[in-house]
Amino acid sequence: MQPHILSERELIAEILAGNPERYYELIAPLERRIYFTAFEILRVEADAEDVAQEAILKAFRSLASFKGEARFSTWLFSITINEARMRLRKRREVSLDSPAEDGSGSDEDYTPITLADWRELPLDTVLNKEMAAHLEQATASLPLSYREVLVLRDIDGISTAEAATALGISEGNVKVRLLRARLMLRDYFVSHCLLPKSAPAGRGRR
């Protein structure tokens, strides 16, 4: 007989009924995404690890109060985001000299660089070490509020509605921020990582 695969709700009931070690099953598919959500916000490995693990522990401690209205993953992502925001605030209090993190991003329309200036990001672009480093820089260049949306939607792969719940903003807001994040990311990536290396325009070359 096939072993019965427990639903999230059943698994949580099992854990609370005295089988805490089954919590591993609940978090296993999420560990990496939780860490990277924290990392995208904090940009420092050690801080991201602390925050990711604290969020996982916190979720365990308050599992009994989890109402199951949202999915467990959405709930855990929102705990992670709150923890990471708290850590950012603390960091700012400690080092007043450091440049302030742009928490809001602009509400102005974002206009990408003139399209005629663009080179296409080639379809066969492959992810290698160098490319991964460029992507890091590109995401790091985004304002925090855009990074949060980008990581939830495009890295964690959660829905617009879930991201709105996790961040406490409207779905419309999620979409607008995601659009700007993607445009800015592409702008940064293409202009910093692809254009400098591109061959000069064909004019005058024999």
Residues making contact with another protein (CB under 8 A): 18, 20-21, 23-24, 31-33, 35-36, 45, 49, 53, 56-57, 60-61, 112, 115-116, 118, 120-123, 125, 127, 131-132, 135, 139, 150, 154-155, 157, 160, 175, 178-179, 182-183, 185-186, 189-190
Residue among 48 and 88 whose Cβ is closer to another protein: 48
Question: Distance between terminal CA atoms of the chain?
Answer: 72
Residue among 166 and 185 whose Cβ is closer to another protein: 185
Q: How many helices (H) and strands (E) are present in the chain, helices listed first?
A: 9, 0
CB of 182 to another protein, least distance (A): 5
CB of 156 to another protein, least distance (A): 9
CB of 147 to another protein, least distance (A): 11
Q: Which residue has the tokens 């950012």?
A: 88
CB of 199 to another protein, least distance (A): 18
Quickly count: other Cβ atoms within 10 Å of residue 88's Cβ. Answer: 18
CB 143 within 8 A of CB 105: yes
CB of 178 to another protein, least distance (A): 6
CB of 24 to another protein, least distance (A): 8
Which amino acid would we find at residue 126?
A: V
The CB-side HSE value for 40 (13 A sphere, CA atoms) comes to 27
CB neighbour burial string for 138-158, b if at least 16 within 10 angstroms, e if fewer? bbeebbbbbbbbbbbbeebeb
Please enumerate in sequence order all residues whose Cβ is within 8 A of that of 189, keeping only pairs 6 or more positions apart, or say none: 121, 134, 135, 138
CB 149 within 8 A of CB 181: yes
Residue among 21 and 93 whose Cβ is closer to another protein: 21
Residue among 33 and 87 whose Cβ is closer to another protein: 33
Residue among 54 and 92 whose Cβ is closer to another protein: 54
Residue among 44 and 70 whose Cβ is closer to another protein: 44
